Structure 1
Amino acid sequence: MTATAASPIILRTTGVSKMFGKFVALNNISAEFERGVITSIIGPNGAGKSTYFNLLSGAFRPTTGKVEFEGHDVTNVAQHRFAHLGIAKSFQITNIFPHLTVHENVRVGLQAFVSRYDIWRPRSTVPGLAERADELLALVGLKDRRARRARDLAHGEQRALEIGMALAADPRLLLLDEPTAGMSPEETRVMMDLIVRLASERTVILVEHKMKLVMGISRRVLVLHHGELLAQGTPAEVRQNEQVKRVYLGQREH
């Protein structure tokens, strides 16, 4: 079935593989991602999670296979077009403007989507940008930090700010790569609560290595191992999968 805006499937990969020289990073992965839910991609280090994320976000093109978003083939679409299609992403390495204020960071993200036809008018003067920036900061829990320099935020707050910047595109699909990387347990809980709130209005796909945490917030889970799709299903189904148990046997869960 072809995915459309009304379809329960928002994103699909069909037989995608990725090779770097002779190294097979991903091998023949076919998966469907449901609209309006949280799907987590997990697996041990080196499983291919980040490579798969890069394929989903347009940063990499598959060596073979196809990626579809809302029924449209986006396999060869340039990465910078993804935001205009309705896909936003937040990478594992925080990507903010450290010398700008928190509010200015989000406003810059909003300005990128203002019409460019009025070339004589500074985008920063377009009505509503400041107000919308405040709305996004409130959504990610940073409105009371709006005047601080981004560099002065705690690590977890910087990750939340980056997500706020990604939301400036008003995406229907939000991709998050290791959103809790480097966070304290308290920061991790705050981030997970934020992801759940965000998923009430959009589809969220996240790559994570903290298996116990994602099991609590995800409706579906994909498990990668050695570049292949080992298992997929509900958290309960994945938790009971014998192959998944063997892969994680003896590994310390975070």
Structure 2
Amino acid sequence: MTAGETTAPEILRAENVTIMFGGFTALSNINVSFPEGRLTAIIGPNGAGKSTLFNVLSGAFPPSTGEIFFKGKEITGVPQHAFARMGIAKSFQITNIFPKITALENVRIAIQAMTCRFNIWTPRSKFKEMEDEAATLLEMVGLHQHHHRLASNLAHGEQRALEIALALACNPCLLLLDEPTAGMSPEETSTMMDLITDLASTRTVILVEHKMKLVMGISNHLIVLHHGEFLAEGTPDDIRSNDEVKRVYLGQGAH
């Protein structure tokens, strides 16, 4: 990879973002931008502020000071429910699915929420279209054989894939993923990384992850945080060769 690969137009930007919880500063004056059409990983040791930044970018936490911009428009303080209609979808570290209905019904409901929000008289034919679309999304995330299984009966990795299918129901141009491999076996992790790579070929993906080796091979762009502060950004090669990153995160012998 070359440094030129990170010079795409920005899709999202955090400007002078600070967030405080009581007297604790979780993020301090963060200025980062995310290139459109790339896979950016936000990395750092435990306690670096990765998930806090994710929550600010996704609208879950308003910054104490600073602004968030999406496609050049300020979205600081915009309600979370408006994000999907802007083309931003997110998948949090804690799986958020409906466990007592099937995988297909989970995704169909997500599609219905996007397409029929203001129409209580939905024609039956429209439900068939939504079910077909739900089936397509399940196939996209590798769950084509599990349409009619209860979500609660899916393996952990399959539940995480289902949650991503729910996020894709709004056809986002920007997908935010918070530690999507948390709690996964090595096999599930490998499958999830393949899925994320596929998704990043058609949309911008921002990924929060603490497993650096996991994202080094798939990311175009990395942002490193440390103790709530910006530390470094660049291509994987840039980050590997950054002395400050080596000192605080990788260790001098890291490759």
Q: What is the deviation of 1:118? A: 3.2
Give the deviation of 1:248 after TM superposition.
1.9
Any residues of structure 2 matched to 1:37-186 within 5 Å, and which? Answer: 37-121=38-122, 125-186=126-187
Q: C-alpha root-mean-square deviation of aligned residues, in Å?
A: 1.8
* 2:116–2:122 contact (8 Å) kept in structure 1: no
In percent, how many aligned pairs have the same letter? 63
Secondary structure of 1:145 counterpart: coil
- 1:218 equivalenced with 2:215 (yes/no): no
Which position in structure 1 is the counterpart of 2:3?
Answer: none
Q: Aligned partner of 1:133: which letter? A: A
CA 1:223 to 1:111, structure 2 compared with 1: closer, same or farther past 3 Å? same
Q: Distance in 2 between matches of 1:42 and 1:127?
A: 41
Q: Offset of 1:249 from its aligned partner?
A: 4.9
Contact 1:111 1:124 (C-alpha < 8 Å) held by counterparts? no
Alpha-carbon distance change, 65 to 124 in structure 1, aligned in 2, over 3 angstroms: farther
* Uncovered stretches (5+) of structure 2, i.e. residues with no partner: 1-7
**Contact 1:103/1:133 (<8 A) preserved:** yes
CA distance in 2: counterparts of 1:99 and 1:64, whole angstroms: 41
Q: Is the 8 A contact 2:38 2:200 kept in 1?
A: yes
Shift of the 11–69 alpha-carbon distance from structure 1 to 2, 3 Å rule, reads same
Alpha-carbon distance between aligned partners in 2 of 1:87 and 1:149, rounded to the nearest angstrom: 27
> Residue 116 and residue 248 in structure 1: after superposition, are their counterparts in 2 closer, same or farther (change >3 A)?
closer
What is the rounded CA distance, in whole Å, between the counterparts of 2:17 and 2:28 in structure 1?
Answer: 7
Does the aligned pair in 2 maintain the 1:96–1:150 contact within 8 Å?
yes
The amino acid that maps onto 1:202 is R
- SS of the aligned residue for 1:179 comes to coil
Report the Cα distance in structure 1 between the residues aligned to 2:219 and 2:124, rounded to whole angstroms. 38
Give the whole-Å Cα distance in 2 for the aligned partners of 1:117 and 1:166.
Answer: 20
- Cα offset, 1:22, TM superposition: 1.1
AA aligned to 1:150 is: A
Equivalent AA in structure 2 for residue 136 of structure 1: L
Task: Give how far 1:122 is off.
Answer: 6.5
**How big is the shift at 1:126?**
3.4
Distance in structure 2 (CA, Å) of the matches to 1:161 and 1:123? 24
Q: Where does residue 242 of structure 1 map in the other structure? A: 243
CA distance in 2, matches of 1:34, 1:249: 24
Deviations 1:27-48 (A, max 9, x none): 0010110011100000000000
